Amino acid sequence: MRRQNMHRDWIATARTLSEALPYLQRYEGATVVIKLGGHAMGSEEAMDSFARDVVLMRQVGVNPVIVHGGGPMINEMLKRLEITSEFVNGKRVTDAATVEVVEMVLSGVVNKRIVSAINRQGGRAAGLSGKDADLIHCRQTDPALGFVGTPDRMNTDVLRTLFAAEMIPVIAPLGAGENGETFNINGDTAAGAIAGALKARRLLLLTDVDGVKDGSGEVVTELTASQIRNFTADGTIAGGMIPKTETALAALREGVRAVVILDGRAPNACLLELFTDHGAGSIIRGG
**pLDDT per position as a tens digit, 199-209:** 999 999 998 88
Q: Which amino acid is at 219?
A: V
Mean pLDDT of 217-241: 89
Structural domain span for residue 109: 27-285
Which carries the bigger pLDDT value, residue 244 or residue 12?
A: 244
Given the residues 42, 48, 71, 210, select the one marked as catalytic: 71
**pLDDT score recorded for residue 116:** 96
Give the CATH number, domain containing residue 33. 3.40.1160.10
Given the residues 37, 53, 123, 188, select the one marked as catalytic: 188
Cβ neighbors of 75 (< 8 A, separation 6 or more) are: none
Q: Quick check: 150 and 116 in contact, CB under 8 A?
A: no
Known catalytic residue at 71 = yes
Known catalytic residue at 123 = no
Is position 209 within any domain? yes
Confidence of residue 92 (pLDDT cuts 50, 70, 90): confident
Residue 47 has pLDDT above 60, yes or no: yes
Is position 238 within any domain? yes
Known catalytic residue at 35 = yes
Q: Return the exposure string of 218-230: e unless at least 16 CB atoms fall within 10 Å of the residue's CB, then b.
A: ebbeebebebbee
**pTM reported for the whole predicted model:** 0.90
Is position 21 within any domain? no
Q: Return the exposure string of 19-52: e unless at least 16 CB atoms fall within 10 Å of the residue's CB, then b.
A: ebeebbeebeebbbbbbbbbebbeeeebbebbbb
Given the residues 53, 244, 264, 281, select the one marked as catalytic: 244
Q: How many domains does the chain have?
A: 1
Q: List the one residue out of 198, 216, 189 whose CA is nearest residue 255.
A: 198
Q: Which amino acid is at 222?
A: E
Known catalytic residue at 112 = no
Is position 16 within any domain? no
Is position 179 within any domain? yes
Strand order in the sheet with 282-285: 125-129, 168-172, 63-68, 31-36, 202-207, 258-263, 282-285, 222-224
User: Kindly report the CA angle at 52 between 168 and 246, in degrees rounded to 5?
Assistant: 65
Given the residues 37, 38, 127, 211, select the one marked as catalytic: 38
Is position 105 within any domain? yes
The dihedral sign for the CA sequence 137, 171, 211, 262: positive
**pLDDT score recorded for residue 112:** 95
Is position 15 within any domain? no
Helices (H) and strands (E) in the chain, counts: 11, 14
Is position 44 within any domain? yes
Mean pLDDT of 104-108: 94
Known catalytic residue at 211 = no
Confidence of residue 43 (pLDDT cuts 50, 70, 90): confident
Mean pLDDT of 100-107: 95
**pLDDT score recorded for residue 7:** 56
d(CA 231, CA 247): 15
